Amino acid sequence: MITKRVAEVNARRHLLRYHRSPDPMRRGRRDRLVAVGLSAVLAGLTAACGSAPDTPVPAASAIASSPSPPPGPPNIILILADDLGYGDLGSYGAPLIRTPNLDRLAAEGVRMTDFRVPSALCTPSRGALLTGLYPPRTGLVGNLPSGSPTEGISDGIDDDEITVAQALEDRGYGTAMVGKWHLGSTLAHLPTFHGFASYFGISNGDQTFLLLRGTTPVKDPPGLDQITKAYTREAVTIIRDADHDRPFFLYLAHRSPHVPLEPSPEFLGRSAGGLYGDVVEELDWSVGEVMKAVRDRGSSERSTLVLFMSDNGPWLSQGEGAGSPGPFRSGKNSPYEGGVRVPAIAWWPGRYPAGRTLGEPVMSLDVFPTLVAMAGGRLSPTLTYYGADLTPLLSGQVSRLPGAGTDGSRELLGYYFGDAVSLRSGRWKFLRPGYWDLVDTLYDLEADPAERTDLYPTRADVAVPLSARLAVLADEIAFNGKKPKKGGGPD
């Protein structure tokens, strides 16, 4: 719960930690979270305008007709699903699973159809989301092992990383996290040491005896079938009780619909989509409860931005326990689109046009600069962020983001355990060899989103330069990268 008392305790903890830190860079980095303004980026994006991707940007009159939100930085709620596939929501084409609350979120907000994660696994995806950095820069390249804070599992997110929670906290936000962390289980790696004033959750997902409040194990924790409800109650309480005199950031990282599938009795057997559908429908219920709490706060003093997304595609080897990648190829742990392209919705009434479908390629690395800019912060000049502030795109001011890629598009990398294996550039996706294929391949995602036809043999004129460019970017990102953290399991 975000209260002034907790915030004060957290502030003291931070002061203590900085005082103790032997690494002056640690203290310096936070101080240096102040130099490169995003105004130049914003100006560049505003100047760039191309053809509309999926649906046209609503006319200015349509945008203007929405009520203007109150000024000042908004509350921010980031909801992350675990292993939810692109095709698992009604608004993304699921034929059997009912998701009315998420569909409403999409109808009132922006539904993104080319939202990408840089790695199709939990830990590297979450590390990138929260730090805004590609996996080699943090060393969070594979899944960290499960364990309790006292089991001596030593690896996790480094103390010198700047999470989005820390960046927002520096801008005066109250911060809280609920749910699955998966960035380290020892004390120093837990969320309360990385910018979150409060934490309630199971660090690595599903071992309920490891349920923590802050850093303390919860006595008599609920069964796994009650975890979604417990997380939801906690999130609703945080939203309801959050201070009104400053904005809050809530990161709600559900463990569902990751296996094991254990819906609460009220949802068991309810979905036409089977047991997996039951779990997704309970997740949708949770989103509905969160949105009720948001609406109950009223809109007089401060607006709220809600972002919903998945960490990676469906875990197809789980058979009926897995979701659907929709029209895309493969799933979790794969560099194909089914692994890295996930459902993502941005909801901010009055700022983002309602009912818009956005096909421009964006990625989870964009979340960090977007939220920092929204809070009036600046990115550290000592770190290279490859993400962009999405505000002009989501608000409808522009329909494309400029970059150095094909036809002036952005270049978006995909990683597999620390190795850069794919480069998205305009309509093209170049893919290096791996367990998925023994040779370099090239796909035209506009003509062939399912990645069925390898065009490398006939379009070497495109593929060879992309291969060279991928190597340059990979070296650039790996330069001064961190040693990979121990781990590497598939879940």
The answer to whether residue 19 is catalytic is no
DSSP 388-434: ---HHHHTTS-S----SSGGG--EEEEEETTEEEEEEETTEEEE--B
Angle of the 227-241 helix axis to the 274-296 helix axis, nearest 10: 10
**Residue nearest to Mg ion according to CB distances in the complex:** 122
Shortest separation between residue 398's beta carbon and Mg ion, angstroms: 31
- From 14, 19, 49, 182, active-site residue: 182
Among the listed residues 153, 260, 125, the one whose alpha carbon sits nearest the alpha carbon of residue 205: 260
Active-site entry in 122, 189, 254, 258: 122
Task: Supply the minimum distance, in Å, between the C-beta of residue 356 and Mg ion.
Answer: 27
Residue 255 vs 410, nearer CB to Mg ion: 255
Query: How many Cα atoms are found within 13 Å in the side-chain-facing hemisphere of 356?
Result: 28
Of 182 and 424, nearer to Mg ion (C-beta) is 182
383 burial level (CB within 10 Å; 0-12, 13-18, 19+): middle
Q: Which of 53, 81, 82, 227 binds Mg ion (CB under 5 A)?
A: 82
User: Could you give phi then psi for residue 15, rounded to 5 degrees?
Assistant: -60, -45
Does 227 engage in binding with Mg ion (CB under 5 A)?
no
From residue 16, give the alpha-carbon distance in Å to each of 166, 193, 205, 330, 346. Answer: 15, 11, 29, 47, 36
| C-beta separation of 228 from 236 below 8 A | no
Distance (Å, whole) CA 92 – CA 110: 12
Query: Which of the ranges 106-114, 273-281, 309-317, 403-411 carries the binding residues for Mg ion, by CB under 5 A?
Result: 309-317
The interface with Mg ion within residues 269-298 (CB under 5 A) comprises none
Selected from 311, 337, 366, 389, the binder of Mg ion by CB under 5 A is 311
Question: Which residue number, 256 or 409, has a Cβ lying nearer to Mg ion?
Answer: 256
Q: Does 83 bind Mg ion (CB under 5 A)?
A: yes
Of 83 and 284, which has the nearer Cβ to Mg ion? 83
Applying CB under 5 A, among 192, 312, 330, 364 the residue interacting with Mg ion is 312
Asked if 230 touches Mg ion (CB under 5 A), the answer is no
* CB of 353 closer than 8 Å to CB of 66: yes
Stretch that binds Mg ion, among 119-127, 204-212, 232-240, 395-403 (CB under 5 A): 119-127
Is 49 a catalytic site residue? no
Task: Kindly tell me which residue out of 122, 130, 291, 388 binds Mg ion, with binding defined by CB under 5 A.
Answer: 122
**In degrees to the nearest 10, what's the CA dihedral of 12, 18, 22, 24?**
-160
Catalytic residue numbers read 122, 182
Interface residue list for Mg ion (CB under 5 A): 82-83, 122, 311-312
